[in-house]
Amino acid sequence: MQFHRGAVGVLAALSLGATLLAPATAASETDACMAGSGTSRPDSAQSAACCVTHTNYSLTSRGIRMPFSGVPTFKNGPGGKMIVARSYSGSVSAQVVVGAETEVGAVLARATAHLSTSLAKTNSTASTNTYERHISRDKYGNAKYVSWGEEVAYKKFRINRDCSRTTLATGRIQYPSESEGWYYWETGS
């Protein structure tokens, strides 16, 4: 998808399998660290391992829909056609499901860099998007204006000098994206 950087992000992220990005290391420190460790205990592969201490995040995400505030859910039927227009000034913001509010910015920075470039803390727009939809016979049509965002699960961890990992925090945060539109579904009543 190459609509623009937003669209690239949302839909490109969906096709990712498991992308692992190696943690960055400072070459000079690593070299010094490995040399020192190798000299002191050269016969132990485990103990010879030596890493530069730093903090990392691992992220996973799944697509979600986040409704805009101030825009009601529309319902019509059974059958026929419904026409809905978002002519309100609505907005939708990131929501912490589990974890600390203080991680919202840090996780977003990493998620936009590695998972979906279109994710944002807030999506607020006043442009109108009119949607017409034929409703299946004997069904009720429902429509809600949403941002097609992602729920990002994160694990914040520290890489220790011995290359082991210490988990510092975990959580889940829902982010809206720049992609927005009408989500439609049908019900029997």
Partner 1 sequence: MFAAGGALLAACSVASPQAATPSTPEPSASDSASASAETSGSPDGDESPRAPGEEFTVGDHSEEAIAVAEASERHVKSLTLTPAEAGITYVVHAACTGEGWMRYWLTVDEREVSASRLRCGRDVVDTAFTAEGGERVQLHLDAPAEEGEGSLAEVVPAP
Applying the rule CB under 8 A, the residues between 71 and 130 that interact with partner 1 are 72-76, 80-84, 105-106, 108-121, 125, 127-130
Dihedral angle at the C-alpha atoms of 143, 145, 150, 153, nearest 10 degrees? Answer: -80
The Cα 155–Cα 60 span in angstroms is: 9
Taking the complex as a whole, how short is the minimal distance between the CB of residue 61 and partner 1, in angstroms?
Answer: 5
The CA distance from 171 to 106, in Å, is 12
**Beta carbon nearer to partner 1, 24 or 27:** 24
Closer residue to partner 1 (CB): 50 or 107: 107
CB nearer to partner 1: give 41 or 81.
81
Return the number of the residue (18 or 45) whose C-beta is nearest partner 1: 18
Smaller CB distance to partner 1: residue 81 or 161? 81
Exposed/middle/buried for 86, CB within 10 Å: 0-12, 13-18, 19+? buried
φ and ψ of 157, to 5 deg: -145, 160
Please state the closest distance from residue 87 (CB atom) to partner 1, in A. Answer: 9
Q: Report in angstroms how near the CB of residue 78 gets to partner 1 at its nearest.
A: 11
Q: Does 1 sit near partner 1 (CB under 8 A)? A: yes
- Range 30-59, binding partner 1 (CB under 8 A): 54-59
For partner 1, which stretch binds (CB under 8 A), given 6-14, 30-38, 39-47? Answer: 6-14
* Locus of tokens 């040399």: 35
Residues contacting partner 1: total by CB under 8 A = 86
CB 146 within 8 A of CB 184: no
**Least Å distance between CB 180 and partner 1?**
7
Residue of the chain from 3, 40, 69, 100 that contacts partner 1 (CB under 8 A): 3
Rg value, the chain, Cα: 23
Q: How far is the C-alpha of 61 from the C-alpha of 118, rounded, in Å?
A: 13
Per-residue burial over 135-146, b = 16 or more CB atoms within 10 Å of its CB, e = otherwise: beeebbbbbbbb
Minimum CB distance to partner 1, residue 42 (Å): 29
